[in-house]
Amino acid sequence: MQFKEELIKVIINLIEELFECKVNSIMQEVNEKLTRMHQDIENMQDVLVKHFSQQIAHSRAESLSETIDTAEEDQFKKSINAELDTLNIRIQQLEYTNHIILDTQSVYKTNFKELERKIQPLQEQINKSIEEMKKDLKDKQTFQWTVLNDQIERVEKYVQKLKQADMLFQQQQQLQSQNNKKQK
């Protein structure tokens, strides 16, 4: 019974550790993805700033001799905005995934608490059964010792009677041998 109790505790500990490992792993993945997204955004901003700076410098240089082509500039702005929109969508997706993970984590915690609530009465029942078995075993041992002690007392009395009978027999033999000597 103690083995069952320890087995239940080990199973509960394994479930807790598995749950924590899974949640930690998922959270680590989300954090890594968010970090990469922020790095991508920063890198994109750096690239855009450099590119834009180069474009501005080039445009200023050309503006002295030529007029600025506004269509090209609009196209460049549109491509920058499209890249930023794509990055924002990816960030929103990661935030949504993070929200789902947090909800799942909450459900797992609730399920774990429910499992603990269901296991507790079983543990109490097992403990009660163990105590009853210990009591029964103690009662049986006490009864067996009582029976054994009674048997030992009977054997000791029987041994005493045998010793007395042996002494009587030896006394009778001595008397008979003395009588035989006297008769001769």
Residues 71-113: pLDDT tens digits? 666 787 888 888 888 888 888 888 888 888 888 888 888 888 8
Residue at 152 is within a domain:
no
The b/e string for 131-166 (b: 16+ C-beta within 10 A; e otherwise) is eeeeeeeeeeeeeeeeeeeeeeeeeeeeeeeeeeee
Residue at 27 is within a domain:
yes
Report the C-alpha gap between 132 and 136 in whole angstroms: 6
Task: Please report the pLDDT score of residue 157 as a whole number.
Answer: 93
Tokens matching residue 44: 């994109």
Task: Please report the pLDDT score of residue 1 as a whole number.
Answer: 66
Domain count, the chain: 1
Phi and psi at residue 141, in whole multiples of 5°? -65, -40
In 3D space, the residue among 90, 89, 81 whose CA is nearest the CA of residue 45 turns out to be 81
Which positions of the chain have pLDDT values less than 70? Answer: 1, 56-57, 59-73, 184
Residue at 172 is within a domain:
no
Residue at 88 is within a domain:
yes
Task: Please report the pLDDT score of residue 67 as a whole number.
Answer: 53
Task: Please report the pLDDT score of residue 176 as a whole number.
Answer: 86
Task: Please report the pLDDT score of residue 164 as a whole number.
Answer: 92
Residue at 176 is within a domain:
no
Tokens matching residue 37: 């997204």
Helix 2-63 to helix 70-183 angle (10° resolution) is 160
Report the C-alpha gap between 52 and 39 in whole angstroms: 19
Residue at 46 is within a domain:
yes
Task: Please report the pLDDT score of residue 63 as a whole number.
Answer: 62
Residue at 178 is within a domain:
no
Domain housing 33: 2-133
Residue at 148 is within a domain:
no
Residue with tokens 């491509």: 79
